[in-house]
Structure 1
Amino acid sequence: MRTVIIGSGSWGTALGQVLADNQQDVIVYGRNQAEVSDINENHHNTKYFKETELNPLLTATQDLSVVEGADFVLLAVPTIAIEDMCKKIDGYLKPNTIVINVSKGFHPETNERMSDVIRRSISSNKLSSVVSLIGPSHAEEVVIRQLTTIDAISLKMEDAKQVQMLFSNRYFRIYTGSDEIGSELGAALKNVMAIASGILSGLGYQDNTRAALITRGLQEMVRYGTFFGGQERTFMGLTGIGDLIVTCTSKHSRNFECGYQIGQENTVDNFWANNTKTVEGVRTAKIVHRVAEKNHISMPICEEVYQILYNHKKPDTCADSLMLRDLKEEFR
C-alpha cells in the first residue's frame, strides 16, 4: 500500500515519519525545494524541527505526478488550498483512492467543511472516501515520538479502519469514528477558542480564567456543532475537549501564539501588519461569526474574537463584555 503526503510542512513531515517508522511505502510532496532537499539529503526539515533527525526512510519530491497510483493521499495543506490541490491531483488518482484530510477549518467562501470540499473537488469514481485524521496533536511532539492519540473519522468505517491500521504504532494510537460533522466542527472551532485563550493569557489572566474559557468554549462548540447535526458525545472526545485542551494551553499552537501576541499588545494591529504564518482560527472566526449570526446561534466567545480581529476592538474590553453579560443558568 502506497501513501503520498501532499505538503512538506510540519504536520505532513511528522505524519510521514510515522508511516516511515511503520515501514510503510510513503513519500512527501512539497513545493519548497529547500524543504524537499533537506528531507532527502540531510534527513531533517530544519525549517520546522530544527535539529530533529527524521527517519532516513522518509523521502520527498517536487513532482506532483507521484500521486499517480497511490492507495492513500494525505492532504496536509492549509484549508484555503484544499480545493485547488484536489483539482490538481484529480487526474492522477486511481479509482477508489482513500483521501486523508488533516486540515481543520472551513472553505473561506462557501463555509463548507473540508470533507465536503474534497468530495466536491475530486471525481466521484476516483474517491473511495474521505478520512479526517484529527485530534489533540502537535507535529512538534509527534515528530519526536511523544505518545499521541487522535481519530480517523469517516462516513465509510472500512476506510477509517484502514487508516487506523496504517498509522497506529507504539506512540501514535488511532481511534475510529463516524460523526464527521461533529468531529470536523469541533476541530475547527477549537482554533478560535485557542486564540481567545492566548489573548487572555497575554492580558495576564491565569489558571481560573483559562479553565473558564475552555469550559464555556466547549459549550459553544457543542451548541454550534449539534445545530448542524453533530452528536453531543463527540465533543466529549478527542476531536472536541481533547483538541480544545491541547490547543488552548500549548506553546506549539499557532492560534494560541497569535492570541497571546494580540493580548500582550492589547491590539490586533501588529498581528495584521506582520503575521506570515497560517493561523486557521483567524479565518474560522470570520466564518463562524457569519454563520452564527445568520442562524441565531449564541457564540459569545467566538464573537468577541471576531470583534478583536476584524473590528479592532480592544482585547481588555472584551473580557469585561463576556463577564458582564446577563446572568443565566450554566446549561442554558
Structure 2
Amino acid sequence: MRAAVLGGGSWGTALAYLLARKGYRVNLWVRRKEEAEELNRCRENLRYLPGVCLPEKVVATASLEDSLQGVEVVICAVPSHAFREVLRAAWPVFPSGAYVINGAKGLELETRLRLSQVFATEAGEEALERYVALSGPSHAEEVAREQPTAVVVASHRWEAAEWAQELLMCSFFRVYTNPDLVGVELGGALKNIIALGTGICEGIGFGDNAKAALMTRGLTEIARLGVRLGANPLTFTGLAGVGDLIVTCTSRHSRNRRAGWEIGKGKSLQETLAAVGMVVEGVRTTKVAYTLAQELKVKMPITVETYRVLFEGLSPLEAARNLMLRARTREIEEIGYC
C-alpha cells in the first residue's frame, strides 16, 4: 500500500514514520523544496522532530500532485487553519476512492465549522463516506519513539473507521473506533483551550489544586458545548475527551500548555506565540468557542475568562478571581448537562 501524509510538522512526520514502520510506502508532502531535500538527505526532521530516524520508505516531496500519485489513503496533518487551503489545492488531483484521515485538531475560525464540515464543503457530502477523524492523547515526540499510545478514530461510516483502525494499529499504537464524529472532533479541539488555562495557572504560580479544578471543570465545559452541538456525552469520558485533556494539560510536549505558561508569566499573546515558535491551536479555538458559547447560550466560564486574557487584556490573576467568585452552583446537575 502507498500512503500520502500532507504536512511535514512533528505530527505528520510521526505518522509517516508509523506507516513506514508497518511496511507502507509513504509520500510526505512539505511546502518547501529545500525542506523536502533536507528530509530525504538527512532522514530526520531537524526542526520539528529531531533525533528520529525516518525509514527509507518515507520519501519527502514539495509537489502536492506527486505526493498523491497512486496512494490509497491521504493523512492530513496540517494545522487546522490551513486545512481548507491544502484540501482545495489537493482535491483536483486527489486519487479516486482514497480514504482521508484527518489528524488536525481545531475549528475553522471564519466559519466556526468542524473540520469534517470544512471537508464536506470542499469535497462534497458524499466524500464524507471516506473521511475519518483521528484524535486522542498522542504527542508526536512519543509516537515517533514508539512509546505506547492509544487513540480513537471516528467516521460517519463504521467501515471507514475500522479501515483506518486496521491501517494504523500496531504494537505501540492502539486504535479504537467511535461513531461519534462530532464529539471526537470537538473533544480534540476544545481541550486546547483548557490546556492554555492550565498553563496560565502554572505561570502564575498556582499549585496542583488549581490545575486539577481547571481540568475537571474544563471537561464539563467541553461536554456542555459538545452535547449542545449534537455529540454523545460519553465520548468526552474517552480518549478524545478526558484522555487528550490530561496529556495536553500536563505534558512538557504541549504547545498550548507552554503558551499558557508564558502568558501567566506576563508575556503578551504576540510575545508568547513568537516564543513557542509553532502553531498554538488553542488560540484560534478559544475565539471560535467563545463565539459559539455566546450564540448558543452555553455556559463556558473558563473559556470566557481565557478569551478575555488572550484578546481583551484581562490579567490572569483577575481572570482566576472571576472564576473563583462565580455564583454558587451544583456539580452533579452540571455534569448531567441539564
TM-score in terms of structure 2 length: 0.94
Q: Does the aligned pair in 2 maintain the 1:189–1:221 contact within 8 Å?
A: yes
Secondary structure of the structure 2 residue equivalent to 1:48: coil
Q: Which sits farther off after the overlay, 181-190 or 268-277?
A: 268-277
Return the alpha-carbon distance in structure 1 between the equivalents of residues 237 and 119 of structure 2. 26
Aligned counterpart, 1:209: 210
Return the alpha-carbon distance in structure 2 between the equivalents of residues 266 and 48 of structure 1. 24
Q: Does the aligned pair in 2 maintain the 1:197–1:210 contact within 8 Å?
A: yes
Q: Does the aligned pair in 2 maintain the 1:269–1:312 contact within 8 Å?
A: no
Q: Does the aligned pair in 1 maintain the 2:120–2:127 contact within 8 Å?
A: no
Secondary structure of the structure 2 residue equivalent to 1:31: coil
Q: CA deviation at 1:269?
A: 5.8
Distance 1:124 1:93, change over 3 A: farther
Task: After superposition, give the CA deviation of every residue in 1:53-91 in whole Å (9 maximum; x if it has no partner).
Answer: 222322211111121332111111111111111111111
Aligned counterpart, 2:312: 311
Q: How many residue pairs are counted as aligned between the two chains? A: 332
Q: Does the aligned pair in 2 maintain the 1:196–1:259 contact within 8 Å?
A: yes
Return the alpha-carbon distance in structure 2 between the equivalents of residues 156 and 106 of structure 1. 22
Aligned counterpart, 1:30: 30
- Find out whether 1:15 has 2:15 as its counterpart: yes
Return the alpha-carbon distance in structure 1 between the equivalents of residues 286 and 162 of structure 2. 32
- Find out whether 1:75 has 2:76 as its counterpart: yes
Alignment of 1:90-101 (within 5 A): 90-101=91-102
Q: CA deviation at 1:261?
A: 0.2
Secondary structure of the structure 2 residue equivalent to 1:74: strand
Return the alpha-carbon distance in structure 2 between the equivalents of residues 295 and 176 of structure 1. 29
Q: Which sits farther off after the overlay, 120-129 or 249-258?
A: 120-129
Q: Does the aligned pair in 1 maintain the 2:24–2:57 contact within 8 Å?
A: no
Secondary structure of the structure 1 residue equivalent to 2:130: strand
Secondary structure of the structure 2 residue equivalent to 1:27: strand
Return the alpha-carbon distance in structure 1 between the equivalents of residues 12 and 138 of structure 2. 13
Q: Which sits farther off after the overlay, 52-61 or 315-324?
A: 52-61
Return the alpha-carbon distance in structure 2 between the equivalents of residues 164 and 273 of structure 1. 37
- Find out whether 1:145 has 2:157 as its counterpart: no
Q: Does the aligned pair in 1 maintain the 2:5–2:12 contact within 8 Å?
A: yes
Secondary structure of the structure 1 residue equivalent to 2:241: helix
Alignment of 1:210-289 (within 5 A): 210-265=211-266, 267-268=268-269, 270-271=271-272, 276-289=277-290
Q: CA deviation at 1:276?
A: 4.3
- Find out whether 1:39 has 2:39 as its counterpart: yes
Q: Does the aligned pair in 1 maintain the 2:73–2:100 contact within 8 Å?
A: yes
Q: CA deviation at 1:273?
A: 6.9
Return the alpha-carbon distance in structure 2 between the equivalents of residues 309 and 16 of structure 1. 34
Task: After superposition, give the CA deviation of every residue in 1:148-175 in whole Å (9 maximum; x if it has no partner).
Answer: 0101111111111111111111101111
Residue type at the aligned position of 2:294: E
Distance 1:97 1:124, change over 3 A: farther
Return the alpha-carbon distance in structure 2 between the equivalents of residues 182 and 124 of structure 1. 19
Residue type at the aligned position of 1:251: R
Aligned counterpart, 1:302: 303
Query: Percent identity between the aligned chains?
Result: 39
Return the alpha-carbon distance in structure 2 between the equivalents of residues 202 and 34 of structure 1. 37
Q: Does the aligned pair in 2 maintain the 1:35–1:47 contact within 8 Å?
A: no
Q: Does the aligned pair in 2 maintain the 1:104–1:184 contact within 8 Å?
A: yes
Residue type at the aligned position of 1:234: T
Alignment of 1:137-176 (within 5 A): 137-176=138-177
Q: CA deviation at 1:284?
A: 0.5
Return the alpha-carbon distance in structure 1 between the equivalents of residues 147 and 72 of structure 2. 27
Q: Does the aligned pair in 2 maintain the 1:266–1:316 contact within 8 Å?
A: no
Q: Does the aligned pair in 1 maintain the 2:195–2:257 contact within 8 Å?
A: yes
Secondary structure of the structure 2 residue equivalent to 1:49: coil
Secondary structure of the structure 2 residue equivalent to 1:265: coil
Return the alpha-carbon distance in structure 1 between the equivalents of residues 146 and 71 of structure 2. 26
Alignment of 1:190-201 (within 5 A): 190-201=191-202
Q: CA deviation at 1:328?
A: 1.2
Residue type at the aligned position of 1:208: N
Residue type at the aligned position of 1:17: Y
Q: Does the aligned pair in 2 maintain the 1:20–1:55 contact within 8 Å?
A: yes
Task: After superposition, give the CA deviation of every residue in 1:259-278 in whole Å (9 maximum; x if it has no partner).
Answer: 00000126546336766421
Residue type at the aligned position of 1:283: R
Aligned counterpart, 1:321: 322
Could you say what the CA RMSD is over the residues aligned between the two structures, in angstroms? 1.6
Secondary structure of the structure 1 residue equivalent to 2:48: helix
Residue type at the aligned position of 2:2: R
